[in-house]
């Protein structure tokens, strides 16, 4: 005889097996572990992404040369406020950045860096709006780093791949107007 006073009938074991299955049951500790591990991995990725430093360009790693002179101040005051596709200039000491309007690296300028050690009599130089530039670094798909080698103090520029030649052409004209010419120094 079954006890009809209990919901679901009297055979509680059969009802539970039918409802939850008759196989082995997972312990609460194992269930908590299986839930906690993916959550910890996701939180770890979020913390890593949030704490990662801003991407740097090669010119930010160049050593500083002579102390920042008044010439750097004049150059920084004269460079354009913006370039097409980039925001307003942001000055931090002797470094100027024009942030990209969308994704991508900013156009970056540093004044007062050391002479590039790779510069030699056989180096290929590019003349842009009469300034001579030496390409110091190329990052495939990201951009190129240039150093102006015929004016003092030395000036480096990072030109992202999506910037075109407008920024370096405009800055070359400003360098020609504001910085004194210097001889090519091959070390």
Residue-wise pLDDT tens digits, 126-180: 999 899 999 999 899 899 999 999 999 999 999 999 999 999 999 999 999 999 9
Per-residue confidence band for 53, with pLDDT thresholds at 50, 70 and 90: very low
**Is 187 among the domain residues?**
no
pLDDT, tens digit, 9 for 90 and up, residues 34-50 = 888 888 888 777 776 55
Q: What is the pLDDT of residue 133?
A: 98
Q: What is the pLDDT of residue 52?
A: 47
Closest listed residue to residue 111, CA positions, set 163, 173, 162, 59 = 59
Q: Are 155 and 182 in contact (CB under 8 A)?
A: no
For residues 43 and 67, membership in a common domain is answered with no
**Is 185 among the domain residues?**
no
For residues 38 and 109, membership in a common domain is answered with no
**Is 3 among the domain residues?**
no
| Helical segments of the chain, H only | 12-20, 28-51, 70-78, 166-178
Rounded to a whole number of angstroms, the distance between the first and last alpha carbons of the chain is 105
For residues 75 and 163, membership in a common domain is answered with yes
Structure tokens at 108: 């970056």
Output the pTM of the full model.
0.69
Closest listed residue to residue 87, CA positions, set 13, 163, 29, 156 = 163
Pick the more confident residue, 8 or 104: 104
For residues 26 and 78, membership in a common domain is answered with no
Structure tokens at 148: 């102006």
**Full residue range of the structural domain in which residue 38 is found:** 12-51
For residues 73 and 36, membership in a common domain is answered with no
For residues 64 and 148, membership in a common domain is answered with yes
């Amino acid at each position: 005889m079954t006890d009809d006073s209990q919901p679901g009938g009297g055979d509680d074991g059969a009802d539970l097996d039918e409802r939850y299955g008759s196989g082995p049951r997972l312990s609460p500790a194992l269930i908590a572990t299986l839930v906690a591990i993916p959550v910890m991995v996701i939180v770890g990725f979020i913390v890593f992404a949030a704490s990662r430093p801003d991407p740097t360009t090669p010119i930010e790693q160049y050593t500083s040369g002579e102390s920042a002179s008044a010439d750097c101040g004049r150059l920084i005051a004269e460079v354009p406020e913006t370039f097409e596709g980039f925001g307003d200039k942001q000055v931090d000491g002797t470094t100027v950045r024009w942030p990209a309007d969308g994704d991508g690296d900013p156009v970056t300028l540093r004044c007062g860096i050391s002479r590039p050690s790779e510069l030699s009599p056989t180096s290929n130089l590019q003349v842009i709006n009469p300034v001579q530039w030496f390409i110091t670094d190329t990052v495939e798909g990201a951009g190129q780093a240039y150093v102006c080698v015929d004016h003092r103090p030395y000036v480096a520029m990072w030109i992202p791949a999506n910037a075109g030649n407008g920024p370096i052409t405009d800055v070359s004209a400003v360098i020609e107007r504001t910085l004194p010419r210097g001889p090519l120094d091959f070390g």
